[in-house]
Amino acid sequence: MTAADTVLAGLDDIRPHLEEFYKDLHANPELGLAEHRTAARVAERLRESGYDVIDGIGGTGVVGVLSNGDGPTVLLRADMDALPVKEDTGLPYASTATTTDEDGRQQPLMHACGHDVHMTCMLGFAHLMAQAKDVWQGTLVPLFQPSEENSAGADAMVRDDLAGRIPRPDVAFAQHVLPYPAGYVGVRPGPFFAAADSLRVTLYGRGGHGSMPQATVDPVVMAAMCVLRLQTIVSRELPPTTPAVVTVGSVQAGASSNVIPATAVILVNIRTYDEDTRRQVLDAVRRCVNAEAAASGAPREPEIERFNVFPPTLNDADVTGRLAPAFKARFGDDFHTIEMLTASEDFSLIPDAFDAPFAYWGIGGIDPGLYAKAVDNGTVHQDVPVNHSPRFAPVVQPTLDTGIAALTVAALEWLG
């Protein structure tokens, strides 16, 4: 019997309670930096399992520490925040929660990205490791991060002296439930998640009457030309083998059909995998936007504001090289080398604060039968709900068991 077998032998006893805990988290989502109920429940469970708990880091961040003799220190992260999405899963434990935004409007809330899965797996793993201290030694640090979706939580924890408040990890891990069949585990060395940069571009024209366009500089036309021009950056300025995405997600201008407005605002999202490409694309966006404004005779240059900035997630080759065979031995044919994904993460800011190597992997959460049928029909993109969809609902099992086992195998590869 392996050390992982010994730790996971206790899973049968806690599985029903974990599943109920997961459903409670799912039904009670909270937005980033407002995860007060969530953080309190997480801290309570860690204390019950015997961990020293430090809470309130970066606002609502929670960290547990369990020392068990001499050995490496392993940090594992789960994120806690939900999204302003109205749930459409039909589940009996579906969220009906709402919140009031800064404009006083009611917003629905949903765990549409699976962070409830991440927290439940981490708590199950943490409890099992605390019950099997005779098969490992070192220090275990489960960390629960707020506000991953807004790229604010990891930075908030680091700025709140995270490095001075917890043991320095020798290695760090994180996992994410993804739209693959439940039971799937996948990791890769090097680039995994993309860097992300969002830009708010304000274009300045000269407003006037819709019947007298000659007296105006039309920012709507300017914005339309920018949208088209930005689509050429990836297709005409980058090598075909260099992955990148430039998306215009919003165009806002005017409020009347016969009034040419004075300004237009476009929101741009950029995904890249290395810093050279990142700089090239950001510079190209600025060049294209400024050129279109000049071509239109704009009275002033555009303003470009950068926000929601995520670093690339670059898995350490040595850590991944050690982790992959351990996963293969545990999960067999369910283990895969996962492809690069254009989603983004702020997790790497935490190990970077300690100059610690890390690995990040994915687990599946989709009903295997539904996924197989979609593959057979060639309709995976149409029929399999993805993260952030109002229909995204990981099946409870074997998703939770897989996530707990993956965390256990990874931690024991260093602590066992």
CA 362 to CA 118: how far, in whole Å?
11
Closest Cα partner for 58 from 173, 168, 163, 145? 145
Residues present in the chain in total: 416
CA 145 to CA 163: how far, in whole Å?
14
- What H or E segment, with its residue span, contains residue 25? helix 11-27
Exposure of 48 by Cβ count < 10 A (0-12 exposed, 13-18 middle, 19+ buried)? exposed
Is residue 381 part of an annotated ligand binding site?
no
Is residue 176 part of an annotated ligand binding site?
yes
Edge-to-edge, what's the strand order for the sheet holding 73-79?
Answer: 52-57, 61-68, 138-145, 73-79, 171-181, 358-366, 185-187, 335-337
Exposure of 382 by Cβ count < 10 A (0-12 exposed, 13-18 middle, 19+ buried)? exposed
In terms of DSSP bridges, do strands 313-315 and 138-145 run parallel, antiparallel, or are they unpaired?
unpaired
Is residue 149 part of an annotated ligand binding site?
yes
Secondary structure of residue 232 in the 3-state scheme: helix
CA 337 to CA 340: how far, in whole Å?
10
For CA atoms 346, 350, 353, 359, the dihedral sign is negative
Chain mean position to CA 34: 17
CB 42 within 8 A of CB 80: yes
CB under 8 Å to 38, separation ≥6 — which residues? 25, 28, 30, 60, 80, 119
- Could you tell me which residues are annotated as the binding site? 113, 115, 149, 176
Residue set of the binding site for Mn(2+): 113, 115, 149, 176
